[in-house]
Amino acid sequence: MRGKGPTEASRPMGSGLRSLKLCPFILLPGLSLSSCSGSHSALDPAGPEASYVAHLFFVMLFGGIVIWIAVVAALIYAARKKRVHSEESAGRIILWCGAILPTLVLGALLSYGLWMMPAIRPWVPDEQQVRRIEVTGEQFWWRVRYLDEAGEVMFETANEVRIPVGEPAHFSLRAADVIHSFWVPSLGGKMDMIPGRTNPLTLTADRQGTYRGVCAEFCGQSHALMAFTVRAVQPEAHETWLAERRASKPLDAEGLAVFLNNGCGACHAISGTAANGRIGPDLTAFGERGTLAAGALPHTTEDIARFVADPGDIKPGVKMPHFGMLPEDDINKIAAFLKELK
Ligand SMILES: [Cu+2]
């Protein structure tokens, strides 16, 4: 059998293999192109910082393709020609293709990257960074604080950031426990959040929209479930929202009582109530959020109830105890109460 041509049985398999080999060439670009647009793509920039990142990517992609074609062409040429090089000509090839050319290419790329750096990471003097937004990475959610002109905290929220369109938003990035990384692909590059440090980051959204951000540094069991939302709204709408957030609102007293009686207020704050815990996300405007538990679930009353009953089931390693032992009725009341917090 060995050494003979393909048998009847092996032929279909051979053609199957051939189409399998083609598969990555069709599938990979298809798959990667399908993720090029949308609220979570560095290739669909929504601001100047992100545009530079995308630009750098395409320049590198183009350069990479040119070099790859040249290398493959050289390889094919070398494989076909059975020429034996003299030691001198081999040395010249190594010098040019192995040292001089890479140095030139990498030097050009480095200069280009350095030239672009001020645009990608605009440096804004401290005194111009008024009204900063302080974002703290926590396992596995985001604490968001809006500061006023004097740098005092106006109010706190979580897992969602609002910025005005067309105006630079200045972030102060911190970490409470381990290293996290703040990344909104549509708006700009990543910035690490390091315990004990405050890293500044300025991002501008030049079109209105909702953008998704993620934690880009492995930070524990539920790292992959640590997302957030950036909403870029018109500056006037932003001002109205800031004012609204500072005003107090009437609350459903019965729901609040169930919330407080079950100890939720030890870790969560709801402004204007006895709930003033600081361990978990501030829930004052919880009903406004588009997602639940840092993007882990949709924001529906059922999902809130499910999360409260067993948060560890949805986010492994979560720092919230489970409340499955509470009567279902209480959990549903709490969920309905929280959903209405605006
Ligand atoms: Cu993280």
Per-residue pLDDT at 275: 94
Per-residue pLDDT at 18: 47
Using the 3D structure, point to which of 246, 262, 286 is the last residue of a domain.
246
Given phi > 0 = left and psi -120 to 50 = alpha, else beta, which region is 157?
beta
SS3 299: coil
**305, part of any domain:** yes
Residue 19 has pLDDT above 60, yes or no: no
Q: How many angstroms is it from 215 CA to the middle of ligand 1?
A: 5
Q: How many angstroms is it from 310 CA to the middle of ligand 1?
A: 21
Q: Are residues 240 and 162 part of one domain?
A: yes
Exposure string over 78-97, b if 16+ CB within 10 A, otherwise e: eeeeeeeeeeeeeeeeeeee
**317, part of any domain:** yes
Q: Are residues 105 and 160 part of one domain?
A: no
Q: How many angstroms is it from 137 CA to the middle of ligand 1?
A: 6
Q: How many angstroms is it from 225 CA to the middle of ligand 1?
A: 9
Q: How many angstroms is it from 290 CA to the middle of ligand 1?
A: 19
Per-residue pLDDT at 23: 52
**94, part of any domain:** yes
Q: How many angstroms is it from 90 CA to the middle of ligand 1?
A: 51
SS3 79: helix
- In the block, which residue shows the tokens 């938003």? 169
Q: How many angstroms is it from 134 CA to the middle of ligand 1?
A: 16
Q: How many residues does the chain have?
A: 342
The set of residues, in sequence order, having a beta carbon less than 8 Å from that of 336 and lying 6+ positions away, is 255, 301
Q: How many angstroms is it from 319 CA to the middle of ligand 1?
A: 13
Q: How many domains is the chain built from?
A: 3
Residues around ligand 1, an ion, CB closer than 5 A: 180, 215, 219, 226
Using the 3D structure, point to which of 99, 120, 141 is the last residue of a domain.
120
Higher pLDDT, 335 or 11: 335
Q: How many angstroms is it from 221 CA to the middle of ligand 1?
A: 10
CA 201 to chain centre: 14
What whole-number distance in Å separates Cα of residue 190 and Cα of residue 215? 9
**236, part of any domain:** yes
Q: How many angstroms is it from 136 CA to the middle of ligand 1?
A: 10
Per-residue pLDDT at 24: 52
Closest CA to 308 of 279, 288, 336: 336
**196, part of any domain:** yes
Query: CB–CB of 179/193 below 8 Å?
Result: yes
Q: How far is CA 250 from CA 146, 244, 253, 261, 332, in A?
A: 22, 13, 9, 19, 20
Per-residue pLDDT at 119: 87
Q: Are residues 208 and 138 part of one domain?
A: yes
Q: Are residues 153 and 96 part of one domain?
A: no
Per-residue pLDDT at 142: 98
Q: Are residues 222 and 136 part of one domain?
A: yes
Per-residue pLDDT at 64: 93
Residue 30 has pLDDT above 80, yes or no: no
Sign of CA dihedral 148, 152, 156, 161: positive
Q: Are residues 235 and 168 part of one domain?
A: yes
Q: How many angstroms is it from 38 CA to the middle of ligand 1?
A: 22
Q: Are residues 332 and 265 part of one domain?
A: yes
Per-residue pLDDT at 32: 56
Q: Are residues 300 and 238 part of one domain?
A: no
Q: Are residues 97 and 165 part of one domain?
A: no
Query: 35: pLDDT confidence band, cut at 50, 70 and 90?
Result: low
Tell me the pLDDT of the chain averaged across its residues: 88
Per-residue pLDDT at 51: 93
- How large a percentage of the chain has pLDDT more than 90? 73
Q: How many angstroms is it from 36 CA to the middle of ligand 1?
A: 24
Q: How many angstroms is it from 295 CA to the middle of ligand 1?
A: 13
Strand runs labelled E in the chain: 133-138, 141-147, 153-158, 160-164, 169-175, 180-183, 191-193, 199-203, 209-215, 227-233, 291-292, 297-298
What whole-number distance in Å separates Cα of residue 274 and Cα of residue 330? 19
Using the 3D structure, point to which of 246, 264, 292 is the last residue of a domain.
246
Query: 212: pLDDT confidence band, cut at 50, 70 and 90?
Result: very high
Q: Are residues 325 and 281 part of one domain?
A: yes
Sign of CA dihedral 153, 155, 161, 164: negative
Higher pLDDT, 225 or 93: 225
**Across 16-33, average pLDDT:** 51
Q: Domain residues for 92?
A: 48-120
Query: CB–CB of 321/262 below 8 Å?
Result: no
Query: 8: pLDDT confidence band, cut at 50, 70 and 90?
Result: very low
Q: Are residues 241 and 187 part of one domain?
A: yes
**Across 120-148, average pLDDT:** 91
Supply 53's token pair: 């990142």
Closest CA to 296 of 99, 89, 188, 140: 140
**26, part of any domain:** no
Query: 76: pLDDT confidence band, cut at 50, 70 and 90?
Result: very high
Q: How many angstroms is it from 328 CA to the middle of ligand 1?
A: 32
Q: How many angstroms is it from 142 CA to the middle of ligand 1?
A: 8
Q: How many angstroms is it from 157 CA to the middle of ligand 1?
A: 17
Q: Are residues 190 and 140 part of one domain?
A: yes
Q: How many angstroms is it from 192 CA to the middle of ligand 1?
A: 10
Higher pLDDT, 42 or 194: 194
* CATH at residue 185: 2.60.40.420
What whole-number distance in Å separates Cα of residue 48 and Cα of residue 135? 21
Query: CB–CB of 269/117 below 8 Å?
Result: no
Residue 27 has pLDDT above 80, yes or no: no
SS3 176: coil
Q: How many angstroms is it from 317 CA to the middle of ligand 1?
A: 12
What whole-number distance in Å separates Cα of residue 56 and Cα of residue 123? 19
Query: 28: pLDDT confidence band, cut at 50, 70 and 90?
Result: low
SS3 28: helix
**260, part of any domain:** yes
Q: What DSSP state is assigned to residue 235?
A: H
What whole-number distance in Å separates Cα of residue 70 and Cα of residue 49? 32
Q: How many angstroms is it from 316 CA to the middle of ligand 1?
A: 13
For 17, other C-beta atoms within 10 Å of its C-beta total: 11
The predicted-structure confidence for 301-314, as pLDDT tens digits, reads as follows: 999 999 999 999 99
The partner residues of 297 in beta bridges, in order of sequence, read 292
**327, part of any domain:** yes
Q: How many angstroms is it from 191 CA to the middle of ligand 1?
A: 12
CA 273 to chain centre: 33
